[in-house]
Amino acid sequence: MNLAASAAPCDAPSEDTAAAAALQGALEAAGHGCAVHWLAETGSTNSDLLAQVRAGRGTVQCLVAGHQSAGRGRRSRNWHDQAPDGAGAALLCSTSWPLPRGCELAGLSLAVGVWLAQALRALGLRHAALKWPNDLLLGSRKLAGILVEVADAPDARWAVIGIGLNLRAPQGLAQAASLEQAGVAAGRWQVLGALLPRLLSGLQGFAQRGFAPWMDEWNSLHAWAGAPVQVLGEDGVPRLRGEALGVDEHGFLWLRTAQGRERVASGDVSLRMQQD
């Protein structure tokens, strides 16, 4: 395995290494060619896979880490991961996948949210909802975040899909939720076993049909449907206010505003509930 220089040597406990190998074997038996690698610690699993792609060494693989020292979310925000003494408190993983150059990527993070919600529902989580464009919520608290990044290689355009999911309650983050708090006792490998087959199958379909096949399910899971929201620019200044309606087949969010219906692309904006 050739990882970026930022990755720490693989000194993982044998059970995690064995679990990665067992999951890879199960995926292969189901017809999914996806290598699964485990690292006890790294800077960022997304950065590791992006470096491989940019160096011309991209392969279909899932990189799973016990701890990230430089994890990040959308718009370069930090992803607050438990320190190593909180081992097993989160699922931290990234998957690399080649897509046709003409493939519309706008709805990919939304589709990933649907596949993640499906996997967690299979494990017993019934009340998760999706916040546009890349969060999974329990009530008003964040359970998981999704970061999709794209890199070009000579042979293809590669998507690197990062997922951070709280298995146990993060220390000092009252705004975060966890599977444990929801009564779902599942470790990282159990969650991955439910998620990766859905993710890999979904990516194959997305390459051919885009986001449209998952639009209705996303809208059925829309956490803020009908809520008054505001769209913030990269500078944090509100740019648009209105009622959140839902997303279209391209992954754009529609708002009902005082001026009529407005379509919002994710880009460098974020969504917040309106404050009274």
What is the spatial distance between Cα 214 and Cα 203, in angstroms, rounded to a whole number? Answer: 12
Amino acid identity at 173: L
What is the number of residues in the chain?
276
Burial class (CB in 10 A: 0-12, 13-18, 19+), 110: buried
Write down the residue that tokens 């979310």 correspond to: 73
What is the pairing mode between strands 135-138 and 141-152? Answer: antiparallel
90 contacts 81 by C-beta, under 8 angstroms: yes
| Residues 95 and 199 sit within 8 Å (Cβ to Cβ) | yes
- The residues annotated as belonging to the active site are 74, 142, 272
Q: 228 and 276 in contact (C-beta within 8 Å)? A: no
Helix H segments across the chain? 14-29, 45-54, 108-122, 188-209, 215-220
Termini Cα distance of the chain: 53
Contact 135, 174 (CB under 8 A): no
